[in-house]
A and B are shown apart, each in its own frame.
Chain A
Amino acid sequence: MVLETRTGPMVYTRSLTKQFDHHVAVNDVDLHIGAGEVFGLIGPNGAGKTTLIRMLATAEEPTKGEIFIQGEHLLRDQPNSGIKRQLGYLPDDYPLYLDLNVWDYLDYFARLYDLKEPLRSRRLREVLELVGLTQKRSSPITTLSRGMKQRLSLARTVIHQPLLLLLDEPVSGLDPLARLQFREVIRALQEAGMTILISSHVLSDLAELCTSVGIMEMGFLVENTSLKNLYQRLSRQQILLSTLGSLEALEAELKNHSSLVEGWEVLPGNNQVRVYFLGSPEQSAVLLRSLIEAGIPLTEFHCAQEDLETIFLKLDHKQTS
């Protein structure tokens, strides 16, 4: 299954604002998500992520501003049927109909989106295979585990092959195995050409999946950039060193490279040091060579970048709206 996508932004909002009485949940947001991207939306609870997603999903009317989905203007107080067919929305509580079985549940939504036979049965089989629930097709929904229910909800969200997938906290409350399975499904959907917006507090998952991120704080979108750009701007390079010798000798040698070494911290335990490094990969190779030549008995020399979680905490975007 590969979807056809047009070039240009999949999502574009202009001065998007949502106010509930005196409370501004989303404030003047200009969002830009390119076609085929996996966009991670992060921010503290109450920052306005869910409201923003609900507006994009047409579940909420904006107070002010405009939304364009694949260049098409979302009109207020209109059915917007054409746009709705392009959207798949999975809310954080993924409600289900517990009186139906898996197949009937998906069949119902396929019919709501006007999928006719034989396409409908084919799509049902495809999405069940995609989310790994083929064996459970006749099972009542009440008998499914939390992870299975989550994947069934995702299957429902993609049954009509939307171009834009809006996932609000899709992995909250899932165990590590269920999260891994969920990530694999998201990757498959990305490969199929869907544009995906995910809000999540599990930043390690977002770092693995996303191509770009947005950070919300107090209803404002304070960052809207590619993940690569974010890492380039804000992630410090780290080198993890372990030695069999004394830490003093290692630290003395690091002081000789003060132009490239911003600082270091000694980690508790096995003579490990985390070095904050400013140089290029070539310069890190020079550092390694000089440490060996200085007779430091290194057992580990591992280059890494600060992860998304560290960057987010460093940015100090902790204000709710």
Chain B
Amino acid sequence: MLLTKVEQLGNWNPQLLRELKGRLKFQNIVLTVIVSLASQCLLLLNFWSWLPSHESKTSPYCTVEVRALDNGIVSLPKCVSNGLGQIDINWPLWWSNVFQSLSLLVPLILIIGGAGLLIINLVLEERRGTLNFIRLSPQPSQNILLGKLLGVPVLLYLGIALFVPLHLFSALYGLVSFLDVLDIYVL
């Protein structure tokens, strides 16, 4: 079944199959998964550091209280605690900010990274002389270009795809409307 699909893919676009065969190797996939998950952890840790603690006076994710003192001046702003002594955190806002950051970062990485990888690949092929062989083949240049576009950044696509669950999760808990999420994916 899988072999038939690979065969069909190769017949449709030999360049794409070549790029996939050259890149989708076990160690490359493992490394991509590790880098992608580590990046997501770093992003979440960064947002985590903005959460209020008992020592912190204020945070974008808590309700701040300012009290008027007896001598007519006001106190420094301070996060409000609930009845159990825990700081009241605005989680929907936190997740919504995670969602917004991902919505900005992921397309940026995709565009800059993808273009960079393509340019590096073409420069390397030109320098090695292998690009000439592709040019000398009877394949239309559009097919070659499409194969390169889809195949060269395939590990980047995989890494980005691993961001999708976190993106959707943050949209869900950030109370982002379905249409907004759809907009981003359509774009």
List residues of A whose CB falls within 8 A of some B CB: 57-59, 79, 81-82, 84-85, 87, 89, 91, 93, 95-97, 99-100, 104, 107-109, 111-114, 116-117, 156
| Chain A residue contacts of B132, Cβ below 8 A | 59, 91
Say yes or no for B85: interface residue by CB 8 A criterion: no
Once bound together, how far apart are the Cα atoms of A113 and B133, in whole Å?
A: 11
Chain B interface mostly: helix
Say yes or no for B139: interface residue by CB 8 A criterion: yes
| Chain B residue contacts of A104, Cβ below 8 A | 18, 21
List residues of B whose CB falls within 8 A of some A CB: 7, 10-11, 14-15, 17-18, 21-23, 128-130, 132-140
Once bound together, how far apart are the Cα atoms of A112 and B140, in whole Å?
A: 10
Which chain B residue lies CB-closest to A95?
A: B129
Are A79's CB and B138's CB within 8 A?
A: yes
Are A59's CB and B135's CB within 8 A?
A: yes
Interface centre among A89, A96, A99, A116 (most CB of B within 10 A): A99
| Nearest CB of A to B122, in Å | 14
Which chain B residue lies CB-closest to A83?
A: B138
Once bound together, how far apart are the Cα atoms of A62 and B132, in whole Å?
A: 16
Contact partner of B138 among A59, A89, A99, A114, CB < 8 A?
A114
Are A111's CB and B140's CB within 8 A?
A: no
| Nearest CB of A to B23, in Å | 8
Interface centre among B7, B14, B128, B135 (most CB of A within 10 A): B14
Once bound together, how far apart are the Cα atoms of A114 and B11, in whole Å?
A: 8
* Interface pairs (25), CB distance under 8 Å: A57-B136, A58-B136, A59-B136, A84-B138, A89-B133, A91-B129, A95-B129, A95-B130, A96-B130, A97-B22, A97-B130, A99-B22, A100-B18, A100-B21, A100-B22, A104-B18, A104-B21, A107-B10, A109-B137, A111-B10, A111-B18, A112-B15, A112-B137, A112-B138, A113-B138
| Chain A residue contacts of B14, Cβ below 8 A | 108, 111-112
| Chain A residue contacts of B134, Cβ below 8 A | 112
Are B136's CB and A84's CB within 8 A?
A: yes
Which chain A residue lies CB-closest to B144?
A: A112
Are A109's CB and B11's CB within 8 A?
A: no
| Chain A residue contacts of B22, Cβ below 8 A | 97, 99-100
Given contacts A79-B140, A84-B136, A91-B132, list 17 more A-B pairs with CB under 8 A: A59-B136, A82-B138, A96-B130, A97-B18, A97-B130, A104-B18, A104-B21, A108-B17, A111-B10, A111-B11, A111-B14, A112-B14, A112-B137, A113-B137, A113-B138, A114-B138, A116-B11
Which chain A residue lies CB-closest to B7?
A: A117
Which chain A residue lies CB-closest to B13?
A: A111
Once bound together, how far apart are the Cα atoms of A79 and B141, in whole Å?
A: 9
| Chain B residue contacts of A156, Cβ below 8 A | 133
Which chain B residue lies CB-closest to A108?
A: B18
| Chain A residue contacts of B10, Cβ below 8 A | 107, 111
Once bound together, how far apart are the Cα atoms of A112 and B10, in whole Å?
A: 9
| Chain A residue contacts of B15, Cβ below 8 A | 112
| Chain A residue contacts of B17, Cβ below 8 A | 108, 111
Interface centre among A87, A107, A112 (most CB of B within 10 A): A112
Q: Which 4 A-B pairs have the closest CB atoms?
A: A111-B14, A99-B22, A95-B129, A81-B138
| Nearest CB of A to B78, in Å | 59
Which chain B residue lies CB-closest to A96?
A: B130
Contact partner of A109 among B128, B133, B135, CB < 8 A?
B133
| Nearest CB of A to B9, in Å | 10
| Nearest CB of B to A231, in Å | 35
Interface centre among A79, A96, A97 (most CB of B within 10 A): A97
Interface centre among B11, B135, B136 (most CB of A within 10 A): B136
| Chain A residue contacts of B18, Cβ below 8 A | 97, 100, 104, 108, 111
